[in-house]
Each structure stands twice: as structure tokens, then as C-alpha cells.
Chains A and B, each alone.
Chain A
Amino acid sequence: MTMRYIIRMRGARLGALLAGLAVFLAACGGSSSANAPTTGSTIVFGAAVSLTGSQSKEGALTKQGYDLWLDWIKARGGIVVNNVKHPVEIKYEDDQSNANLSATLVQKLITDEKANFILGPYGSAATASDAVIAEKNGIPMVEANGAAQSIFSKGYKFTFGVLSPANKYLTGVIDMAATLSPKPTTIAMLTANDNFSVEVAKAVEDYAPSKGMQVVFTKQYPAAAPDVSGLISQAKQKNPDIVMNSGHLAESIAINKAAEQLGLDAKIFAYSVGPSTPDFISALGGDANYVYDGSQWTPQVKYTPAFYLSVADYVKAYKAKFSSNEDPDYHVAESTAACLAFQKALENAGSLDPVKVRDALASLDVMTFFGQIKFDSRGINTFKPMVVEQIQSGTHYTVFPANVANGSPKYPTPSWSSR
């Protein structure tokens, strides 16, 4: 609820951003066709993202990711499909953070704006309703911001998601824990009772035994619960090695505070959503240290991309384009990755035919700055791992998997009384 309001505020900046973008598009629109000898028809991507309403912050981040790629591909004159260079355009609609409206707008983008392909909206709900439209029209959609697996359980053939699904959010932490010594063996799993969080927690309960770990305590609590001290004192009775929370920012802050107050000492504290945001560190100060979380992507990962920018250049391009001192959020990176999936699939397909591009997406396997993009039979990118971050001395470090990490886990977490 709170995030939504933040967004409403920052949405005001969008106007400026859009104006800047318009100038930019006008500036490079003329030159791009001139330096391509064989120029084909313009490829139109349609995207209904939340530019106003409760999710306008996330929607803006999604749009930033798309636009970052658009700049890059425009500078190259377009996508080369079968030796013809096709200029690229992205048409946006504002779904006002309303999933039902999103579907209507996607249909409009396809019929009125003649969009060849669809880039996904923000959020699992909007993605689920847009997938229906993509399927009905036989137009491929690559989405970057809907992690719920339920989107992909309906047998759709035209929807692909570049991000790791919900069930991977905390299993990376278990993989990491299995490599540590002394190896932690018991887990207390706390879960907010919303669908995404429950999906995350269920995966932990299913996965932990395969790594020799036991879930000794599991409890759901109402999302946005004001007080979790009762739960924490129960978990403490079980003396778990790992305390996991699947919930949201406010709840992860509350759980961390209650754990400190009630002296719940664990070797690992890992929360699905929250610690990756700057708010978590500013709210908890030094108590945020040692906390782990699962993240789709971090600016520190070390992937070696087959095309497009390296991770470092991507971060640089982001800061330059949006005059930002902050690193790009993972929402931005995954959105750019959706564009990259389309670009590569179009190149591989050698055709603009939606069915051929769909088939090229289904067989896509490429390494990008965001990680590997490859879809399983349902259209989910189950091949990219989630990375594990840890907060160390107030800074985020990527600590797992080791081959993409820029730090090593500080383990075990010292007891509260000795900090």
C-alpha cells in the first residue's frame, strides 16, 4: 500500500522524462534511416505500462528499461532481420495500474497502433490479463515483470517471461547455505499470506530437504501485519539455523526488529523482498547488516554477454541517460532483457512473421548482461539463477553464485548481543 503512494509522488517526474524522450526520438528519428542502405518497414513494439496509479514507480522503471534498449538499437539503425535493417519504435499506453485496463490497451495497441510485438506490463496481475490478448491475437509477448508461475500454467504459446519465477526467490539462499561451514540444517519459514509470498515459501519447503535441510517452523501471517513479535518468539523456541521471510519490505523490517528485540539468533537471516531496497538499510541502520535476499539481478553480477552491453557499460548507460547517481534497479534490467530477447529472436527468425518469431523465442538460448535467457516449455526462464545479495557494512554485495559474485558471504551472522 505504501509503495503505491511513493510512486504517485515520483510519477510527477515522468512528465519531464517523457518530454525529454520525445525530443530525443525526434532528434534521432531522421538520421537512423539515412545510414541504413536497405531499410525495411518499422517494427512496432507495443507496451501498456503503469505510468500513473499505484504502480507508477515500477511502471516507470519498466519503461526506463525498454527505452534504454531503444536508444541503443536506434543508434544502430534498427534490428537486422534477413539482411534488412528495420527501424524500431515502441508505442506506450498507460494502464493506470489497472490490470483489466491493461488488456484493453494491449488489444488497442495491436489493432489501432499496429504493434507487431508486445512488451509486457508491470506486475503479475496485468501480465496475466495481457497474456490472454497476446494469445488470442497470435502476437508474441515477452514480459519482464510478472513472476507468478500461474501466468504460465495455462498453456499459452505466445507469452514468454525473462525473469526467474517466484519459486526461485529463496532457493538460491538454500543453495548458498549448503556450501557454508558449519552447514546450517534447520529453517524457520515465515510467510505473508499473499499468493506470491506463499509460492515463494512453498518452494523453500519443497526444496530444503534435497539439500539436507529441514523446515522446523512454518507460519503464515496476514500481509501487512503490524506486529510479528508473537511469531518470532515462537520461531525462537525452535532455535533455527536459518530464518526466512517471504513477504514485503515493511514485514521484513518488522521481522528483523522483532528478532533483535527478542534475541532470536540465527546463522542466516534471508528475506524474499525488501533488503535489496535502500529503504531497508536506512530504516534499520547497522541492524540491516548480514541480511540476505534473493534478487533477479544486481549491478555487480559478472555475466559475459553474447551481445548488447556488458554489465558495467549497462550501469554507465543507465546513469548517463537518466542522470542518476543510483545504480539501475533490477526492474530496469529485466525490462531491457525482454527487449534483448525480442531482438535476438527476430534476428534468429529472419522474419517478422509472428509465428516464426514465436518459434525463435521458444528455442532462444543466449547470454546477456542480465544472465541466460532461455525458456522452458511453459515460457518461463527457469535457466537464469537468482543471485543472492548480502548487506555488509551498509552496502549490497552479490555473494552467490560464486562465479558472478563480488563478495563472499559473511557467515555465520553474529549474535545480536555481540554486534
Chain B
Amino acid sequence: MSQFTQQVILGLLLGGVYVAVALGFSLVWGILNIVNLAHGALVIVGAYITWVLFTRLHIDPFLSLPVDALALFVIGYALQRGVINRVIRAPLLFTFLLTFGINLVIVSLLLLIFTGDFRSVTPAYSGSGLHIGAVVIPYIRLGGLVAALVLAGILWAVLNRTRSGAAILAVGADRDAAQLVGVDLRHIYALTFAIGAAFAGVAGGIISTFQSITPTAGDPYTLQAFVVVILGGLGRVSATVAGGLAFGLIEVLGQSAHWLGSGYANAIAFVVLVVVLVVRPRGLLGRLA
């Protein structure tokens, strides 16, 4: 029984990471209709910022998360305004190509700057955890989950409690109508992408605490963000949270299934994804399109 509890907890902790990664991805997809293939690369940029601050200035990785957010916000704003905005109304394939290219550029830049060596952020408490009976909850993973949920709360508050958030939602609902009532489209596009990038940066900071990072380590996270958004549904913060936690649980419990090798963990997750698409195409909590 305690083993099952342990697995569930580990699944939720992993799910927290997926939530953090998918929040920004979901926002950009939902509002700008861009499937951002460079999202994983932005995540890793955040991870490197945390790593640099940790190794050079000995700043605790969780304290560096706001720095990640700020830096990526600026990068994201400039990237959208300067580059991505040019194809914002182009067919989906163009945005695919462009973001794929941006992904390559970022990864190559990271290689030039940091080389491909494995980097790791190891604060003093990285090995310890909370022991409750036979169940162990590693502190840094717990910190990651808490940070992810805080992020989700911030995103919800920004979208639902601020003027800019209302503008973002308006643009997502109908860009022409939004423009008619005086919303500055270019600014809102860039702002949305910047928020997405900032969240990616924070996710990267979280990831750097438990995983060794390399310039290409972000690639799988783009795919996972995609799955989480499909699973949870587009257009709601709560849907992304549900999708992320569900995906983490499915992966970990899939690994521990005795009748299946854990080599099938990915397969199980994607089978669930297909089932969701067939049975409930809008995702677990998604709005009807």
C-alpha cells in the first residue's frame, strides 16, 4: 500500500513539472494559435540561467526563478515582436517551420556558449526529503510542484483579474473584434508570447534542480507539453493543471505496472492520449471550441 502511495506521490510530483512546462505552451497555442516548437529550447534557456546563477553567485535555484521569468519575458517579447509576428496570420505550417528554426538557433547558441557538457544544479538539500512512514517526498521535487501550482495561480490571476489579461482573452476569442474595440494587437501578441516564454523559463529553473541539463535536453519537453495540452484541453489554466498531473500519474503508474515493462510507459501515455481524443476530443477539462 505504501508503495502505491509512493508511486502516486511521485506521479504527482512529475506531473507538477509537466504543468510548469505546459502552462506557457498552452497559452501561446490557445491565444496565438501557434504550436511553439521552440518551447523546449526556451525551457532550457531558463535552466541555464538558474545554473549560471547557482554556480557563479551561489543563488538558490528556487530564488532564481523570478530572474528566469524576467529574462525569458524580455526574450519572448522581442522574439514575437521581431520575428514571429511576421507569420502570425500565415498558415500553421509557416509557424511550425519558423518555431522549429528558432529552436535550432537557440540550441546551437546554447552549444556555443555552454558546450554540450552535462550541467547540474545541486543545492545542499537536493538529496534530502520528507519521510512520512515508508513514503519519501524529495524536497526539490516538492518545491517544483509547489512552484508549478503557484505559476498556474499567477496565470489564472493575470488572465482573469487584470486588464491585459482580459485583452489577451479577447484576442484569443476574436482578434478582429478585439482590434475594433481598441486592443493593440501587436502588443498583446508579444505580451502573450512573452508570458509563455517567462513560464517556460521558470519551468526550466525547476527542471535544472532534478535533471542534468544539456542544450538539447528541452526537446522532449516540447512533445510532453503538447501531450499535456491535448490531454487536459485547450483554453483553461485548470485544464493544463489537470492534464499535467494526469500525464505524470499515468507515466509513473505505467512504469510500475507489473504486467507491462516500464519500457511501455510512453506507449501507455500515448494510448491514453488517443483514447481521450476519441472519447473526449476537447480534453479532460477543455472548453468546446
A interface, CB within 8 angstroms of B:
1-3, 5-9, 193, 219-222, 224-227, 229-231, 233-234, 237, 249-250, 253-254, 257, 260-263, 279-280, 282-285, 287, 416
Contact of B122 among A193, A233, A285 (CB under 8 A): A285
Smallest Cβ distance from A125 to chain B, in angstroms?
20
Q: Say yes or no: A8-B111 contact (C-beta < 8 A), given A1-B216, A229-B10, A261-B129.
A: yes
Contact A279 B117 (CB under 8 A): yes
Smallest Cβ distance from B244 to chain A, in angstroms?
13
**For A229, what are the chain B residues with a Cβ–Cβ distance below 8 Å?**
10, 13-14, 138, 141, 252
Contact A261 B127 (CB under 8 A): yes
A-B pairs, 10 with minimum CB distance: A6-B116, A261-B138, A283-B120, A2-B214, A230-B252, A260-B127, A220-B263, A193-B263, A279-B118, A230-B255
Residue of B nearest to A253 (CB): B212
Residue of A nearest to B14 (CB): A227
**For A261, what are the chain B residues with a Cβ–Cβ distance below 8 Å?**
126-129, 136, 138, 140-141, 210
**For A8, what are the chain B residues with a Cβ–Cβ distance below 8 Å?**
111
11 CB contacts below 8 A, A to B, read A221-B262, A221-B265, A227-B14, A229-B252, A233-B3, A233-B7, A234-B255, A253-B212, A260-B127, A261-B136, A283-B212
A137 to B111, CA, bound (A): 42
**For B116, what are the chain A residues with a Cβ–Cβ distance below 8 Å?**
2-3, 5-7, 9
Main secondary structure of the interface of B (DSSP, over half): helix
**For A254, what are the chain B residues with a Cβ–Cβ distance below 8 Å?**
211-212
Residue of B nearest to A2 (CB): B214
Main secondary structure of the interface of A (DSSP, over half): helix
A7 to B115, CA, bound (A): 9
Contact B262 A226 (CB under 8 A): no
Contact A226 B216 (CB under 8 A): no
A5 to B138, CA, bound (A): 32
Smallest Cβ distance from A2 to chain B, in angstroms?
4
Whether B217 is near chain A, meaning CB under 8 Å from some CB there, is yes
Contact A6 B117 (CB under 8 A): yes
A253 to B131, CA, bound (A): 23
B interface, CB within 8 angstroms of A:
3, 6-7, 10-11, 13-14, 17, 107, 111-112, 115-120, 122, 126-129, 131, 136, 138, 140-141, 210-212, 214-217, 219-221, 224, 251-253, 255-256, 261-263, 265-266
Smallest Cβ distance from B272 to chain A, in angstroms?
16
Contact B256 A234 (CB under 8 A): yes
Contact A9 B111 (CB under 8 A): yes
**For A224, what are the chain B residues with a Cβ–Cβ distance below 8 Å?**
220
Contact A263 B217 (CB under 8 A): no
Q: Say yes or no: A219-B261 contact (C-beta < 8 A), given A5-B107, A261-B140, A279-B118.
A: yes
Contact B215 A5 (CB under 8 A): yes
Smallest Cβ distance from B180 to chain A, in angstroms?
45
Which of A224, A226, A283 has the most C-beta atoms of chain B within 10 angstroms of its own C-beta? A226
Contact of B262 among A1, A220, A282 (CB under 8 A): A220
A398 to B111, CA, bound (A): 32
Q: Say yes or no: A287-B138 contact (C-beta < 8 A), given A229-B10, A261-B129.
A: no
Residue of B nearest to A284 (CB): B120
**For B127, what are the chain A residues with a Cβ–Cβ distance below 8 Å?**
257, 260-261, 287, 416
